[in-house]
Amino acid sequence: LSNYTFPPDFRFGVATASYQIEGAWNTDGKGESIWDRMTHQHPDFFFNGDVAADSYHLYKEDVRALKELGVGVYRFSISWPRILPTGDVDVVNKLGIAYYNNLINELLANGIEPMVTMYHWDLPQALQDIGGWPNQVIADYFEEYARVLFTHFGDRVKLWLTFNEPLSFCAGYGEWRAGAPGIDAHGIGDYMSAHTVLHAHARVYHLYDNVFRKKQKGQIGITLDSEWADPFDGTVESKEAAERELQFQLGWFAHPIFSSEGDYPRVMKERILNNSLKEGRTRSRKEVKYVQGTSDFFGLNHYTTNLARSGAVGETPSLIRDAGVQMILDPSWPSSASAWLKVVPWGFRKLLVWIAKEYNNPPVYVTENGFSDHGELRDTNRTKYITSYLSELLKAIHEDGCNVIGYTAWSLIDNYEWMSGYTEKFGMYYVNYSDPARPRVPKDSSRVMAEIIRTRQLPQQY
């Protein structure tokens, strides 16, 4: 492990998300979200987050754990339908506002800075009923929702993220979309959704920049997820496939916002034009300019690496077919409890260097990185994962000059892992889901993390 020291202003934190921890799905005026609807409609296919870790009632337990870790930042998301139950800005749920005020005040009272994700996948069902993200009008609703958040919480919240992983909720890379019954497999709708999400993100950035920033003095960004893609073999085809995969997976949303050129990556527009959409989903010059530069930092979720080689996947027009890349997991790499998550620390450094080169070394906030297991309290594998990934992050900073300014690990507590329910545990604190009191129990990794935060160096024994 590298024995570099974390820069003095480097921020440490942990991350969670509303649907994955809060529970209280229909309590105190909260409206239905698309995840409530989907999990209740398909109980055979999905677990649900009806109670989850019950953070709605136990948020003080969460803050106690945060205090024990010694984090400076806590990244959590606000449930849109808990604030606006119908999506209509005239129907504000006061008890929802009160919950997040209590959480924010409890954090500040313990010297912890809130980082708020405005949207972590729990769209009000009422907005899905008018078409959801493929319907451009949702951008209006999102801007109105953001204005409510800035108005009520902007005096104390100085770190905002508009969206968590638009790729995962717009497109078919998230397995939970492709296979779930009654949910269309990825396809043309994804390009429409991406259009709406990018425009909605820019609308909220400009709203903050023009109306709130002067008084509230905060920063606003977006969180994009990306695995590293390494060529399957030494052929030119595999090298091109790996680069294409990064442009489709990360460039799709990063290029319009962070690149000096703007718009979608060229290779995407060419291949989409040839494969599935005649208009290639490009944007007008005016819209390209409107979206460019709309983020104060680059939020990055990263977990693992895949190998890439050429190959059209599937016949129907889709993001994966347009990319023409086959992703392969190397079975020799150490595994986690999640089939998609292999432990490949060096891929993290390569991705950070790629982002620095591609987007002129933007300030990068690693907003998620973590390991899943089956809930062991002696979670040595998680400690090995976190320390080895942080070791690569330190090399990216000290040897490659990458401008990484913070790291919030996924996750504080074992929580609802989407399609996998409660079977894959990502927490540094264990939650016993058969105990209605949902106690938060520290795992070994929490003590190691607390030590790293205190000493700002990595322990060398792992």
Catalytic positions, written as ranges:
368
Q: Contact, 146 vs 162, CB < 8 A?
A: yes
Q: Contact, 291 vs 198, CB < 8 A?
A: yes
- Binding residues for ligand GCO, rule: CB under 6 A, are 17, 20, 164-165, 168, 225, 301, 368, 410, 417, 426
Residue nearest to ligand GCO (CB): 301
CA–CA separation, 308 and 232 (whole Å): 5
CA–CA separation, 1 and 21 (whole Å): 32
Strand partners, 442: 429
- CB nearer ligand GCO, residue 122 or residue 243: 122
CA–CA separation, 293 and 134 (whole Å): 23
Provide the angle, in degrees to the nearest 10, between the axes of the packed helices 236-246 and 266-275: 100
Tell me the residue type at 186.
H
Tokens of 356: 């620095």
Q: Contact, 401 vs 360, CB < 8 A?
A: no
Smallest distance from ligand GCO to CB 121, Å: 7
Contacts 24+ apart (CB under 8 A), 180-186: 180/38, 180/42, 180/45, 180/46, 180/419, 181/42, 181/45, 182/38, 182/41, 182/42, 183/38, 185/316, 185/318, 186/318, 186/319, 186/320
CB neighbour class for 293 (10 Å; exposed up to 12, middle 13-18, buried from 19): middle
- CB nearer ligand GCO, residue 99 or residue 410: 410
- CB nearer ligand GCO, residue 212 or residue 252: 252
Distance (Å) of CA 313 to CA 235, 317, 356: 19, 10, 30
Tokens of 34: 């698309």
Q: Which residue has the tokens 């972590």?
A: 120
Helices (H), 116-265: 125-128, 138-153, 166-170, 175-179, 188-207, 213-216, 236-246, 252-258
Tokens of 96: 């929802």
Smallest distance from ligand GCO to CB 97, Å: 24
CB neighbour class for 357 (10 Å; exposed up to 12, middle 13-18, buried from 19): exposed
Q: Contact, 296 vs 223, CB < 8 A?
A: no
Cβ atoms within 10 A of the Cβ of 337, count?
18
Residues 40, 42, 46, 49: what is their CA dihedral angle, to the nearest 10 degrees?
Answer: -10
